[in-house]
């Protein structure tokens, strides 16, 4: 009788663990693929091979995405998937965090982001980082380009804080209608006014309207 009871307890424990694991996995935040063109591939943590990205796919945080030549991919991010990021051609990016706080690590290439405030909590953040610089934003539209020798931020709406990756206290504010270039050494190389054509990008680059 004792052996039977022990077996029942073991089975119940295993089932409970499976239910908890399933519930936890379902609660993890995801990034939703809302549009793509051309060749877009991804690797989840632990994967050895690249797989093709499909529209409506839900991608876990930690996923690496590569967008090929003449291609692009558009993601809905954040706690309620209200923010949109468009990953441009020949860009390699990691979805480090995609929930209340969004953190994208861009190895090379260019992204455009249109952000709705992720949460009312002051700690909520949307950050894009390269090996050189970090762009921190709350409710704005901007682009971030990582070219290895430098990073360029263009702000289409509101304000973006740009800082060296190892010196967040040296943040420079890039206001609406302006851009900034930070070198690989973490030094601000230049700031500039955006031409009218660039200011129109925010209204043209996204297919999904944000309310």
Give DSSP secondary structure letters for 29-53.
-EEEEEEEES-EEEE-TT--S-EE-
If you search the block for the tokens 């660039």, which residue do you land on? 198
Cβ pair 88, 110 in contact under 8 A: yes
- CA–centroid distance for 61 within its chain: 9
pLDDT of residue 200: 74
Residue 106 CA to residue 93 CA, distance in Å, equals: 4
pLDDT tens over the chain, length 211 residues: 545 555 555 445 445 444 444 434 446 789 999 999 999 999 999 899 999 999 999 999 999 999 999 999 999 988 777 788 999 999 999 999 998 889 999 999 999 998 875 444 555 588 999 999 999 986 688 999 999 899 999 999 889 999 999 998 999 999 999 999 999 999 999 999 999 888 776 666 654 444 3
Residue 101: per-residue pLDDT: 86
pLDDT value of position 207 = 44
Residue 209 is predicted with a pLDDT of: 40
Task: Give the model's pLDDT for residue 197.
Answer: 84
Q: Report the predicted TM-score, pTM, of the whole model to 2 decimal places.
A: 0.80
């Amino acid at each position: 009788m004792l052996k039977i009871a022990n077996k029942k307890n073991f089975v119940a424990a295993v089932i409970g663990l499976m239910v908890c694991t399933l519930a936890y996995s379902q609660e993890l935040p995801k990034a939703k693929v809302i549009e793509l063109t051309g060749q877009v591939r991804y690797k989840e943590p632990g994967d050895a091979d690249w797989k093709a990205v499909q529209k409506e796919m839900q991608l876990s945080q930690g996923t690496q995405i590569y967008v090929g030549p003449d291609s692009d991919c558009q993601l809905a991010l954040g706690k309620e998937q209200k923010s949109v990021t468009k990953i441009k051609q020949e860009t390699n990016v990691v979805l480090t965090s995609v929930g209340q706080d969004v953190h994208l690590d861009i190895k090379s290439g260019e992204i455009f982001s249109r952000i709705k405030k992720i949460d009312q909590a002051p700690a909520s953040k949307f950050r894009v980082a390269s090996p050189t610089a970090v762009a921190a934003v709350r409710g704005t539209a901007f682009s971030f380009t990582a070219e290895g020798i430098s990073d360029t931020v263009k702000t289409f709406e509101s304000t973006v804080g740009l800082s060296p990756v190892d010196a967040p206290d040296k943040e420079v504010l890039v206001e609406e209608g302006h851009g900034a270039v930070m070198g690989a050494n973490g030094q601000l190389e230049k700031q500039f006014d955006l031409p009218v054509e660039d200011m129109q990008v925010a209204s043209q680059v996204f297919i999904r309207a944000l309310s």
